[in-house]
Amino acid sequence: MNRVAENVFMSSASTILSLIKKDILLETRQQHGFYGVLLYIASTSFVVYLSMGQPEDKVWNGLFWVLQLFVCINAVAKSFLQESRGRMLYFFSITGPIDFVLSKLIFNAILMLLMNGLSLAIFTLLLGNPITKMGTFMLVSFLGGISLSLVFTFLAAIAAKAQQQAAMMAIMGFPLIIPQLLLLMKISSAAFSSVIQAGWWEMVGLLAALDIMIITLAIILFPFLWKD
């Protein structure tokens, strides 16, 4: 029994890895999307620099996470929306729904980590570095980038089945993403102070719990969308 479960797990992991490699290959071939997001990050940061110079800590923190939100929408949300019906039928014939959605979640998390690192580098270069604990902020920013990517990948999977895709994502995403952004701003604010506030680890645990909930919902609900 354990041998059968191990074989199933290895087969599923191999399928997920192959799908991730496929997405990476497509992303490297269609470089206009990556460079478009990179241009968006640089131009937005430069406009903020021209209008505000080097803002204070709270403003810097808020602007960073708002930028991450729009970067995530541009870089991650297109993962399902760009898949044609014919391509989805092909994936339906060669893989299962859980492997497919997990590959999308992992790939978009990796992509968002890359975008997050580039955003942090450009922000620090143009808007200064008011961060007291860079290691803490980098950890929170990477966790936040993964969280945003999970939410928008899940929303994109649902919206891809609707005709009004952009409107559907906005309607579903607003009540989910606003509390998450506020939580990320609250957690990352500890990196601008020499003292960690009380309950900081509990908020990090809450963020991790939200990520686990999104992954669980994707695994449970996506098979129903897969059959449509």
Question: Mind listing the pLDDT tens digit for each residue in 78-106?
Answer: 777 666 677 777 777 778 888 888 888 99
Top-confidence residue, 28 or 118: 118
Q: What percent of the chain has pLDDT over 90?
A: 2
Q: What is the mean pLDDT of the chain?
A: 82
Q: Residue 129: which of 45, 181, 56 has the closest Cα?
A: 56
Q: What count of residues does the chain have?
A: 228
Residue 3's SS3 state is helix
| Distance (Å, whole) CA 209 – CA 221 | 18
> What ranges do the domains of the chain cover?
11-226
Return the pLDDT at 65: 92
pLDDT of residue 44: 86
Report the alpha-carbon distance of residue 72 to residue 173 in Å, rounded.
Answer: 12
pTM: 0.87
Q: Cα angle at 213 between 209 and 145, to 5 degrees?
A: 70
